[in-house]
Amino acid sequence: MSNFTTTVRAGSRARRARRLSGSITRVVVLSAIAIAFISPIIFMIVTSLKTRADATAIPPSWIPNPISLQAFASILAPGTTTPVLQWFANSMVAATLNATLVVITASLAAYPLARMQFRGKNFVFVIIVATLLVPPVILVIPNYLIVSELGWLNSLVAIIIPTAASAFGVFFMRQFFVGLPVELEEAARLDGANRFVIFTQVVLPLAKPALATLALLAFLGNWNDFLWPVYVLFSPEVQTLPAGLSTLQSANAVRYDLLMAGAVVASVPVLALFVFLQRFIIEGVSRSGVKG
């Protein structure tokens, strides 16, 4: 009997020790990957603070010597052919307006698809969801013609409006609305409120987390969009940051101090959003997968 308990205890102690060493290995492996993952971003910031000579020095160093704002000063200076500050403003305006448009149109469209009965509802929903599977490439050439017909080529409007037709947004908001308890809306109906009042006064306040997530994802998507702005915006002063970075790279192939400063300018807002709101962003992404 006592022999048996000692064996059991020794066994569980060994198991605990094994589990502990297992979890230490786990943390070590995961931390090593994390360091490898974050160091390129840190090196980008480090290089943006170097002088021209220091940025291409061999061996490369992790500490700028001296710390210099020269690269930022020269790319942010007004009157260059690569107006980074202007690109920053363009990206900010485009991503903000695009995200606003996505949130408004997608939540308005999602509400009747979640809560009302009407003819054609399933048809509309199926068409919208089906376009999620259509490769975006088939839209690029014809959309260029449409945008050109509308007179939006080489203008920020082309970056703001066409991409605001977010099928993902409608799908995402509909899932959220379906999951809301219907009682509050019914109570408001009994009080005689119309659908639009119910939507704005009752439903939207409850949907704030989902609206914030969608706004963030739309903002990030628009901020980082690359192919469309590269081809639709051709004058330097109307470009967004990603398209501008491409221009900056062609103009300064090996001026890595300038390129990294430009990359930092393009990353600061999204990294800041990410640091403060990463829970929203990560949960938004993972929810889109689980429920999709």
H or E element at residue 170: helix 167-178
Among 59, 78, 79, 181, binds other proteins (CB under 8 A): 59
Give, as one character, the DSSP assignment of residue 57.
-
Placement of tokens 């901020």 in the chain: 223
- Is position 152 an interface residue for other proteins (rule: CB under 8 A)? no
- Is position 263 an interface residue for other proteins (rule: CB under 8 A)? yes
Placement of tokens 């398209």 in the chain: 243
- Is position 160 an interface residue for other proteins (rule: CB under 8 A)? no
Placement of tokens 């102690």 in the chain: 13
- Choose the binding region for other proteins from 65-73, 75-83, 201-209, 237-245 (rule: CB under 8 A): 237-245
- For residues 232-264, one letter each, b for 16 or more C-beta atoms within 10 angstroms of the residue's C-beta and e for the rest, the string is bbeebebbbbbbbbebbbeebeebbbbbbbbbb
Nearer to other proteins, 201 or 286 (CB): 286
- Is position 12 an interface residue for other proteins (rule: CB under 8 A)? no
- Choose the binding region for other proteins from 7-15, 73-81, 131-139, 203-211 (rule: CB under 8 A): 131-139
- Is position 233 an interface residue for other proteins (rule: CB under 8 A)? no
- Is position 11 an interface residue for other proteins (rule: CB under 8 A)? no
- Is position 201 an interface residue for other proteins (rule: CB under 8 A)? no
**Structural contact between residues 75 and 258, judged by C-beta atoms closer than 8 angstroms:** yes
Nearer to other proteins, 2 or 194 (CB): 194
Pairwise CA distance, residues 87 & 37, whole Å = 28
Q: Count Cβ atoms below 10 Å from residue 128 Cβ, excluding itself.
A: 21
Q: How far is the CB of 2 from other proteins (least distance, A)?
A: 28
- Is position 144 an interface residue for other proteins (rule: CB under 8 A)? yes
